[in-house]
Amino acid sequence: MLRAQGRAVHQGDSGWVPVFVDREQSISLMSVGFLLEQPDEALVWRGPRKNALIKQFVSDVAWGQLDYLVVDTPPGTSDEHMAVVDALRPYSPLGALVVTTPQAVSVGDVRRELTFCRKVGLRVIGLVENMSGFVCPHCSECTNVFSKGGGEELARHAGVPFLGSVPLDPELTQSLEDGRDFIQDFPDSPAFPALSSIAQKILSETPVGLS
């Protein structure tokens, strides 16, 4: 999604060197995807092996000076989630951004995710409702393809901040497929104000003088 496929990870003096995805070198990336010999190779690993790699990603990558480390996780409340919380605990994580789609089936799983956060002592920065409505490009009618409002209701029920709803935008999907900078290319997209506002909220949550 960040147009970094096929790049290789090198080992430096202070550890693995992450891959920079932009010319300004403001965003670096580490993923197991960089360690595969073939892109279609399946990583058929059980928990302990995944845990080991996650620990290495935190402790053995030469991240350098960072303002934000964003960790993308798979769905669930299992090995990966426990491993990354354990690995990051000594560094006082800002918290978790929890993403749901609007419908009850998704909200049903995310409720459990919120319980996980509480149990492991991970603060919830807020909840985001993704894929919240689709604006037809032909007639501009907005259809709630995955229902509506479940995210906001869950945030209220669980007592966590609701950060906003991000609508479905095929241009966003297309951008991710092409590895383009969506925010730069589509500032008029209906998804942009929502994403922007969520980013602003996180920036405003960051304690002063942290970096």
Partner 1 sequence: MEEVPHDCPGADSAQAGRGASCQGCPNQRLCASGAGAAADPAIEEIKEKMKSVKHKILVLSGKGGVGKSTFSAHLAHGLAEDENTQVALLDIDICGPSIPKIMGLEGEQVHQSGSGWSPVFLEDNLGVMSVGFLLSSPDDAVIWRGPKKNGMIKQFLRDVDWGGVDYLIVDTPPGTSDEHLSVVQYLAAAHIDGAVIITTPQEVSLQDVRKEISFCHKVKLPIIGVVENMSGFICPKCQKESQIFPPTTGGAEAMCQDLKIPLLGKVPLDPRIGKSCDKGQSFLVEAPDSPATVAYRSIIQRIQEFCSQRLPEGENLVGS
Give the binding site for partner 1 (CB under 8 A): 1, 11, 15-16, 35, 37, 39-50, 52-53, 56, 60, 74-79, 81-82, 101, 103-106, 108-109, 111-116, 119-120, 134, 136-139, 141, 143-147, 168, 170, 173-174, 176-178
CB proximity list for 102: less than 8 A, separation 6 or greater: 129, 131, 132, 144, 146, 147, 148, 149, 150, 151, 165
Q: Rounded to the nearest whole angstrom, what is the least distance from the CB of residue 29 to partner 1 in the complex?
A: 15
Are the CB atoms for 203 and 166 separated by under 8 Å? no
Are the CB atoms for 155 and 161 separated by under 8 Å? yes
The amino acid at 4: A
Q: Rounded to the nearest whole angstrom, what is the least distance from the CB of residue 193 to partner 1 in the complex?
A: 19
Q: Rounded to the nearest whole angstrom, what is the least distance from the CB of residue 108 to partner 1 in the complex?
A: 5
3 state DSSP class of 61: strand
Nearer CB in complex with partner 1: 74/209:
74
User: Backbone phi, then psi, for 111, in 5-degree steps?
Assistant: -55, -40
Nearer CB in complex with partner 1: 156/203:
156
Q: Running DSSP on this structure, what letter comes out for residue 147?
A: B
Q: Rounded to the nearest whole angstrom, what is the least distance from the CB of residue 160 to partner 1 in the complex?
A: 13
Nearer CB in complex with partner 1: 137/209:
137
Q: Rounded to the nearest whole angstrom, what is the least distance from the CB of residue 11 to partner 1 in the complex?
A: 7
